[in-house]
């Protein structure tokens, strides 16, 4: 079972610059930096390896080229302040979609692991009228709850969610019997990407047993749930 977990972690960490711990983009993970090289897994810049198409006022479709069908790709959307507002980590879906919380200038970093570790950047300006006669009032403003990383996990995992606008939320963990185990976040949070770690303990800081757990994100008008596995 440990070997299986190790293989899974290796696959999902294919794009190190898209780790769930990122709240602010860290270009040193993407390109050349002290200690980076072909032997230690850092991505090297490669111009022109992806194309971008705006498909709605706040959504872009990213297509990574030069990679075999079914191989993992990934990308991140970074605002003008350097904050990662959306990301896709190690997916076989190519092209994939990134969503911005609001109009503005953004940088897209995208790349792949095989046949070699490569990445590229493009800067785009998303406007409400960026595609056809789209009505800005119809722009997608949905909360996004991402898969936890790693999963399965031991001893801790990280959960990320994206808020398109500021609002009251609650992020909580439940067992399969529907009993609340831990409240990770509760209150009013600003728009943007938020990440929280769970250490496999309940609200009393007591360790919980191995098994399947659900994490739920609630807002005033949405409820999102995902599954994770604690494996000790």
pLDDT tens for each residue of 53-77 = 877 778 888 988 877 777 888 888 8
Mean pLDDT across the chain, nearest whole number? 76
Q: Does 168 lie in the same domain as 151?
A: yes
Q: Does 148 lie in the same domain as 120?
A: no
197 pLDDT exceeds 50? yes
What total of structural domains would you count in the chain? 2
pLDDT value of residue 218 = 94
Q: Does 151 lie in the same domain as 67?
A: no
pLDDT value of residue 216 = 95
pLDDT tens for each residue of 111-137 = 887 666 788 888 888 865 443 333 444
Q: Does 111 lie in the same domain as 33?
A: yes
Three-state secondary structure of the chain: CHHHHHHHHHHHCCCHHHCCCCCECCHHHHCCCCCCCCCCCCCEECCCCEEEEEEECCEEEEEECCCCCCCCEEEEEEECCCEEEEEEEEECCCCEEEECCCCEEEEEEEEECCCCCEEEEEEEEECCCCCCCCCHHHCCCCCEECCCECCCECCCEEEEEEECCCEEEEEEEEECCCCEEEEEEEEEECCEEEEEEECCECCCCCECCCEEEEEEEECCCCEEEEEEEECC
Lowest mean pLDDT among 120-134, 164-178, 208-222: 120-134
pLDDT tens for each residue of 135-159 = 444 444 578 888 888 889 999 998 8
Q: Does 226 lie in the same domain as 158?
A: yes
**CATH code where residue 156 lies:** 2.60.40.4070
Q: Does 191 lie in the same domain as 116?
A: no
Q: Does 125 lie in the same domain as 22?
A: yes
- Residue 149's domain comprises 144-230
**CATH code where residue 118 lies:** 2.60.40.10
Q: How confident is the model at residue 207 (pLDDT cuts 50, 70, 90)?
A: very high
The residue from 118, 138, 158 where one domain ends is: 138
Q: Does 119 lie in the same domain as 63?
A: yes
Q: Does 98 lie in the same domain as 174?
A: no
109 pLDDT exceeds 80? yes
């Amino acid at each position: 079972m440990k070997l299986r977990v190790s293989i899974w972690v290796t696959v999902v960490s294919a794009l190190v610059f898209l780790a769930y711990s990122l709240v602010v983009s860290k270009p040193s993970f993407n390109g050349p930096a002290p200690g980076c090289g072909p032997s230690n897994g850092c991505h090297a810049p490669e111009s022109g390896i992806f194309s971008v198409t705006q498909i709605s006022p706040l959504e872009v479709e990213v297509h990574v080229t030069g990679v075999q069908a079914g191989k993992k790709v990934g990308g991140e959307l970074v605002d003008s302040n350097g904050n990662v507002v959306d990301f896709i980590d190690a997916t076989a879906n190519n092209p994939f979609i990134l969503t911005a919380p609001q109009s503005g200038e953004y940088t897209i970093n995208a790349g792949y692991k095989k046949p070699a570790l490569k990445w590229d950047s493009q800067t785009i300006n998303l406007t409400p009228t960026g595609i056809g006669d789209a009505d800005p009032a119809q722009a997608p403003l949905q909360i996004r709850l991402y898969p936890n990383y790693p999963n399965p996990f031991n001893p801790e995992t990280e959960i990320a969610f994206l808020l398109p606008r500021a609002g009251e939320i609650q992020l909580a963990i439940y067992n399969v019997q529907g009993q609340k185990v831990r409240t990770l976040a509760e209150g009013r949070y600003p728009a943007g990407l938020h990440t929280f770690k769970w250490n496999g303990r309940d609200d009393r800081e007591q360790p919980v047993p191995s098994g399947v757990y659900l994490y739920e994100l609630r807002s005033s008008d949405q409820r999102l749930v995902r599954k994770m596995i604690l494996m000790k």
